Amino acid sequence: MAASPDPSATVHPLKRLWRRSTAFRPRIVLAVVSTVLNKLFDIAPELLIGVAIDVVVRTEDSFVSRLLGIEDRETQLYVLAAVTVVAWVLESSSQYLADRLWRGLSQDLQHDLRMDAYRHVQDLDTAWFEDRESGRLLTVLNDDVNQLERFLDVGAAHIILTVTNVVAVGAVFLVVSPLLAFVAFLPIPVIMAGSLLFQRRLGPRYEAVRDRAGRLGGLIGGNLGGIATIKAFGAEEREAARVHEASTAYATANRRAIALSSAFVPLIRMAILVGFILTLVLGGKAALDGTLEVGLYSVLVFMTQRLLWPLTTLGETLDLYQRGVASIRRILDLLDTPVFIRGGARELEGPRGTPLAVAFRDVRFAYGAARAAESGEPEERVEVLRGLDIDVPAGETHAIVGATGAGKSTVVKLLLRLYDPESGQVTVGGVPADELSFAALRGTVGYVGQDTFLFDGSVADNLRYGAPDADDTALVRAAELAEAHGFVAALPHGYDTPVGERGIKLSGGQRQRLTIARALVRDPAILVLDEATSAVDNETEAAIQRSLLRVSRDRTTIVIAHRLSTIRHADRIHVMDAGRVTESGTHDELVTLGGRYAGLWSVQTGEIADGLLDRAARGDD
């Protein structure tokens, strides 16, 4: 079934932004009003110049004389000077107010959108990230939001000023001379038609620029994250070539947009020249013939400049507009991405840290199913769990083992609701996981994953990550349970020692023990260790085994392991194969059973390996 079209795709990005910016609407309206007033006060001096010339030329019959009844010409000029001062003060004040409002809006609105987008990204389902590069997301959250800021700071005000200028000056022309109004406005349809043409052609080019920027950001972000691998394989030149290719594509897309936008102003200047010359000649002839007052003629000459010259900046404004619209569309599209996995409303009963039972009932799950449901298009489904049944009573330690791809880590992801099963049910403390709030569900789980991720900060900062209010005593106790206190105390600054980005200043075993301590600081009711000994040496593994025996006594523990020696003392071991539990029992029971677990145990204890070596030494096939 094809996906239904997205209604937001037909709505202009600025209209979508207006709908989302409810809290900012009063400030936006005030900024628009201030900008309009600024332009009206800005064109007042040209009108006053014409009135001043009228005073000099027509003396007692001038406009000021007839309006105010003042016959003395010097007094008329003093009055005009006073009015001019007032106009300039009002123009300056309105410009100050408009600039403050637009710049404040650009800062506040871009901050608000960035935070909304970032929070929304955090809420998106894990499946959504499978086909997205972090660098592209970074481009939206940073560069696109900055483009919006630049448009609001400069482009929006320019558009309003230009429109106000055309309307106000056009009104003056129509009152003074409809014929000259027609002549002066003659180039405007050409300019507007050219602008629309440029807009249609520039739009796709700026979309291409944003796309290339996202690709370049994703590539650089990935390479920086994998810099150690790049160095280890001597791939520096190859990766530099890839970045060069992506950067060249970005620069080429920008050049194509620049080539088109740069041609706009010279073409506009030619159209402006036509309008100015026609006004100058035709208006001058009317003044010479006596059908147009000299003062009014001077006003129209000045006003022609005022009307048409600002249009020369339309190219730059259009450039900001197109970049801003492309960025707004990407930001709002990200914000409109639906969230399919949401927390429930129920909370867990009982004191914090009380062991809770965990159960999987006939759970089925396939990667790609969520994307298929989202898009409505058929997706390649990778079925992982096929009717999984596991019961972990409260306070017991259960282990899950099996070959790579058996679905072990997927069990943990479903428990944490990083994904939801297609069918079946996961319960925690007897409550369906999808009925629990995220704070209740994930707040009761201490998770140690295969990726020992540490944040750039001190050891203490990382240990407190799951429990920001934990005191130093709790940190030391958790570190001692994880057998991490010894090496932490030996660091240059102890618990205040920086660990570097992703914990790069520590060894793999040290990082692993700190992640275990981090999980224990929050005193979880359920402790989950997903391949917690996958990247450690034998000494660290032995330390972790000792830690597990201690920390698992007062909580429900689920251990996923390749190294079977770490889970020998588990209350129950579940052997997974092709998404199901095929064997279940204690270590001794499973070894005696002689099934798959016994085979894995033989491999890891060296019995099968020794036999293969003997055969190889004899030259047997």
In DSSP notation, 88-134 reads HHHHHHHHHHHHHHHHHHHHHHHHHHHHHHHHHHHHS-GGGGGG--H
Query: In the block, which residue shows the tokens 């001190």?
Result: 458
Domain co-membership, 423 together with 509:
no
Q: Tell me which of 407 and 133 has the higher pLDDT.
A: 407
Domain co-membership, 318 together with 388:
no
CA of 391: how far to CAs of 41, 244, 571, 619, in Å?
77, 54, 12, 48
Q: Would you say 577 and 404 are in contact if contact means Cβ atoms under 8 Å apart?
A: no
Q: Would you say 104 and 157 are in contact if contact means Cβ atoms under 8 Å apart?
A: no
**Mean pLDDT value of segment 265-278:** 73
Note the pLDDT of residue 65.
61
Domain co-membership, 218 together with 365:
no
Does the residue 48 lie in any domain?
Answer: yes
| Closest CA relative to residue 246, chosen from 275, 273, 221, 283 | 221
CA of 470: how far to CAs of 475, 476, 521, 522, in Å?
7, 10, 7, 8
DSSP 4: P
Domain co-membership, 506 together with 358:
no
Q: Beta strand pairing status for 556-560 and 526-530?
A: parallel
Q: What is the pTM of this model?
A: 0.70
Note the pLDDT of residue 537.
63
Domain co-membership, 392 together with 466:
no
Does the residue 53 lie in any domain?
Answer: yes
| Angstrom distance (rounded) from CA 606 to CA 111 | 59
Q: Tell me which of 202 and 208 has the higher pLDDT.
A: 208
Neighbour-count burial for 485-522, b at 16+ CB within 10 Å, e otherwise: bebbeebeeebebebeeebeebeebbbbbbbbbbbbbb
Domain co-membership, 210 together with 359:
no
Domain co-membership, 35 together with 159:
yes
The secondary element (H helix, E strand) that includes residue 190 is: helix 187-225
Domain containing residue 503 = 445-523
The secondary element (H helix, E strand) that includes residue 601 is: helix 596-605
Model pLDDT for residues 420-465, shown as the tens digit of each residue: 899 999 999 889 999 999 888 888 888 887 777 788 888 888 888 8
Q: Would you say 547 and 516 are in contact if contact means Cβ atoms under 8 Å apart?
A: yes
Model pLDDT for residues 400-419, shown as the tens digit of each residue: 988 888 888 889 889 988 88
Domain co-membership, 476 together with 558:
no
What SS3 state is found at 307? Answer: helix
Domain co-membership, 103 together with 142:
yes
Start-to-end CA distance of the chain, whole Å, equals 53
Does the residue 340 lie in any domain?
Answer: no
Domain co-membership, 449 together with 403:
no
Structure tokens at 202: 């520039």
Model pLDDT for residues 545-592, shown as the tens digit of each residue: 776 777 777 789 999 887 787 788 889 999 988 888 999 999 988 888
Does the residue 557 lie in any domain?
Answer: yes
CATH assignment at residue 425: 3.40.50.300
Coarse DSSP helix, strand, coil percentages of the chain, rounded to the nearest 5 percent: 65, 10, 20
Angle at 494 between CA 490 and CA 497, to 5 degrees: 115
Q: Would you say 484 and 506 are in contact if contact means Cβ atoms under 8 Å apart?
A: no
Does the residue 547 lie in any domain?
Answer: no
Does the residue 342 lie in any domain?
Answer: no
Model pLDDT for residues 525-541, shown as the tens digit of each residue: 898 888 766 656 666 66
Count the domains in the chain: 3
Does the residue 131 lie in any domain?
Answer: yes
Angle at 326 between CA 320 and CA 330, to 5 degrees: 140
Q: Compute the chain's Rg from CA coordinates.
A: 36
| Angstrom distance (rounded) from CA 419 to CA 360 | 14
